[in-house]
Amino acid sequence: MKRRQFLAAAGGGLAAGAVASPAVAQSMPELKWRLTSGFPKSLDTLYGAAELFVRYVSEATDGRFQIQPFAPGEIVGTPQATDAVSNGTVEMTHTASYYYVGKDPTYALGTAIPFGLNSRQMTAWAYHGGGLDLLNEFYGRQNLYSLPGGNTGAQMGGWFRKEIKTVDDLKGLKFRIAGIAGQMMQKLGVVPQQIPGGDIYPALERGTIDAAEWVGPYDDEKLGFAKVAPFYYYPAFWEGSAMVSFFFNLAKWNELPKSYKAIVQAAAAAAHTDMQAKYDARNPAAFRRLFGAGAQLRPFTRETMEAAFKASNELFDEISAKNVDFKKIYDNLRAFRNEEYLWFQVAEYNFDDFMIRARARG
């Protein structure tokens, strides 16, 4: 290539670069966000999902979109997290929506309600049953936008200082239980207590509360509940699954370039999948260790579960009569649940039932 041709070609390339660079910078701006978590750092399943999310977002944008996670209390506490996002104190949070039922019971539907959906059904409802659209229609009026951010799977029923043999044994019981489930249990005589995860152990140890539920073996072992409340009950009929969510300030979400929105959605979906995979992989070994250390496994009686089911339906009817947002989303979720169990009882249930029995036979 002659010198004049080379310079012309180089000049053309430089000119093109001069045009392209601002375009790239505009489509991939440098952003620094803050994420306040609703979960303590000691829980690598729950807090860890936010860490995984922010890492994926950073790597997918070559570090141009940085999100820094903070533990509860470092900026705001868990009870203030959604308000902090809504008013722009932070850009986002990773938390359980049912922590905010005091603001509106509709928040419960984004995490779990008694006798609701199992984890696969919850994901199906959110992504393909209209659930996420309905939730975001509600959240949007609070200047929030939400994406699924993990699921614990079916939870354990909690740690009790004394045995629960009948429904009457629940009367007067001071029970740490989150969300709308506390209102349901109140109908059975329970005195529900809202206590953040990090404060549960000392409350149990001091006898300030009689029982507490959290998640399941892997997390419960970390929190040490077996040392102060030996009876481990199952299942948590109030949490057949528990979905946690990423909440974004709606205005900040709307300002994101399309490419960043796609990256955030993909990173959230990856964190959502990873959380339950981690729980499913780690719960069995933790389960064995707990009972090797003296925890005593107990099932809730059928009588207790039937009474709770009745109380739940009464509660949902009462709330629906007063709250149009709750009724709209709950009616959709309930119809979806009934259709799902029409299918799950055929293949999923029978396969699992056979394999469980086969394992028991050795």
pLDDT tens-digit series, residues 258-303: 999 999 999 999 999 999 999 999 999 999 999 998 999 999 999 9
Q: Which residues have C-beta within 8 Å of that of residue 9, sequence separation ≥ 6?
A: 1
| Residue 254 backbone phi and psi in degrees, to 5 | -65, -25
Residue 4 has pLDDT above 70, yes or no: no
Compute how many other C-beta atoms are within 10 angstroms of the C-beta atom of residue 128: 10
What percent of the chain clears pLDDT 90, i.e. is strictly above it? 89
pLDDT tens-digit series, residues 312-325: 999 999 999 999 99
Band of pLDDT at residue 22, cut at 50, 70 and 90: low
Two structure tokens written together for 263: 């990256």
Tell me what pLDDT residue 24 has: 56
Tell me what pLDDT residue 339 has: 97
Tell me what pLDDT residue 199 has: 87
Edge to edge, what strands does the sheet with 92-95 contain?
65-70, 31-37, 92-95, 243-249, 144-151
Tell me what pLDDT residue 172 has: 97
pLDDT tens-digit series, residues 183-207: 999 999 999 998 877 789 999 999 9
What percent of the chain clears pLDDT 70, i.e. is strictly above it? 93
Two structure tokens written together for 43: 């829980």
Q: Which residue has the tokens 């005091």?
A: 102
Band of pLDDT at residue 152, cut at 50, 70 and 90: very high
| Helix (H) or strand (E) run with residue 111 in it | none
Band of pLDDT at residue 19, cut at 50, 70 and 90: very low
pLDDT tens-digit series, residues 45-104: 999 999 999 999 999 999 999 999 999 999 999 999 999 999 999 999 999 999 999 999
> Average pLDDT in the 13-25 region?
46
Tell me what pLDDT residue 10 has: 39
225 CB-contact burial (10 Å; exposed 0-12 / middle 13-18 / buried 19+) = buried
3-state secondary structure 196-252: CHHHHHHHHHHCCCCEECCCCHHHHHHHCHHHCCCEEEECCCCCCCCEEEEEEEHHH
- pTM score of the predicted model: 0.91
